[in-house]
Amino acid sequence: MDRTSRIYVAGHRGLVGGAILRRLEREGFSNLITRSHAELDLTRQADVERFFEEERPEYVFLAAAKVGGILANATYPADFIRDNLQIQTNVIDAAYRFGVRKLLFLGSSCMYPKHAPQPMKEEHLLTGPLEPTNEPYAVAKIAGIVMVRSYRRQYGFSGISLMPTNLYGPGDNFDLQTSHVLPALIRKFHEAKLAGAPAVTVWGTGTPRREFLHVDDLADAALFLMERYDEEEIVNVGVGEDVSIAELAEIVRDVVGYEGEIVYDTSKPDGTPRKLLDVSRLHALGWRARIGLREGIEQTYRRYCEHAG
């Protein structure tokens, strides 16, 4: 990619697309193409084809997807499988047909089998049953990976697929019903501090372990791989370390400056005991995450306060 390449970031209003766009702007890429959902509905094949025909992007970051937490996935399973299949099929196929030089597709660690050995390696994909709660989403995204791989094999199309771990950062979803744990804890501790509440409730036992990658690190990895990686194998993108939910809660409490207690609501589910990616392939390619968890939470909390007012 050079600084004047025509680069389309699909999903630039989302957590991931937004971070990729900020990063490209900061690096001085001057021909960035974006469309809001209202301007271009990616589930409409004819509209997507017309857009590619007119704009002729050379590089595509496909960060558009229908995403949500466990509750949203359980409530709208049909929407999750349909919208994701449509979006990625339309964009990948149009990218190939209209001469895109390279496309980067984003999967997610929830596409690995529910009982994959930890840490999860790239070759564990499609080796066992999925977590039932997000199966429609995961099946759609797995189809995207297989599609990217197949377009490479049959047409020689340069598509690569990344598997990010749990992401967090500015622009995250802070809705307590639908968010993931990290934004939920930031909001809970912040509101408890303001209200002078005696305790904050954390779901589950606090023992499950999760890995958290700052979305700016993901954007950095995405640019790095777009410029230097061109193989069909997927690449895990994570930090290679995890923390327990209890450790995470302590860090967030500290960063927010809340002085009350933490209580665990064990009537809420723990979910899978551990979710950690093996990042040796990424390290071998020469990339490592740089934003430490505490530092990343501090930055996210500052931004949250600016927006929460």
- Based on CB atoms, which residue is closest to ligand GDP, 51 or 112? 112
Q: In whole angstroms, give the CA distance from residue 21 to residue 31.
A: 11
The answer to whether 87 and 66 are in contact (CB under 8 A) is: yes
Q: Does the footprint of ligand GDP cover residue 184 (CB under 6 A)?
A: yes
- Based on CB atoms, which residue is closest to ligand GDP, 93 or 250? 250
Q: 3-state DSSP call for residue 113?
A: coil
The answer to whether 34 and 53 are in contact (CB under 8 A) is: no
- Based on CB atoms, which residue is closest to ligand GDP, 211 or 278? 211
The answer to whether 231 and 282 are in contact (CB under 8 A) is: no
Active-site hit among 8, 59, 112, 137: 137
Report DSSP state, residue 126: T
State the minimum distance, in angstroms, from the CB of residue 69 to ligand GDP.
5
State the residue for tokens 């937490």.
Answer: 69
**Residue 93 burial class via C-beta count within 10 angstroms: exposed 0-12, middle 13-18, buried 19 and up:** middle
Q: In whole angstroms, give the CA distance from residue 52 to residue 99.
A: 9
Site for ligand GDP, residues 251 to 280, rule: CB under 6 A: 268-271, 275
Q: Does the footprint of ligand GDP cover residue 149 (CB under 6 A)?
A: no
Q: In whole angstroms, give the CA distance from residue 241 to residue 286.
A: 17
Q: Does the footprint of ligand GDP cover residue 180 (CB under 6 A)?
A: yes
- Structure tokens belonging to residue 300: 């996210």
Site for ligand GDP, residues 202 to 221, rule: CB under 6 A: 202-204, 208, 210
- Based on CB atoms, which residue is closest to ligand GDP, 269 or 292? 269
State the minimum distance, in angstroms, from the CB of residue 198 to ligand GDP.
17
Q: Does the footprint of ligand GDP cover residue 170 (CB under 6 A)?
A: no
Site for ligand GDP, residues 59 to 118, rule: CB under 6 A: 69-70
- Based on CB atoms, which residue is closest to ligand GDP, 99 or 273? 273
Q: Does the footprint of ligand GDP cover residue 239 (CB under 6 A)?
A: no
Q: Does the footprint of ligand GDP cover residue 181 (CB under 6 A)?
A: yes
Q: In whole angstroms, give the CA distance from residue 298 to residue 183.
A: 12
Q: Does the footprint of ligand GDP cover residue 37 (CB under 6 A)?
A: no
For 100, other C-beta atoms within 10 Å of its C-beta total 22
Is 76 designated active site?
A: no
Could you list the active site residues? Answer: 137
Binding site for ligand GDP (CB under 6 A): 69-70, 166, 179-181, 184, 202-204, 208, 210, 245, 268-271, 275
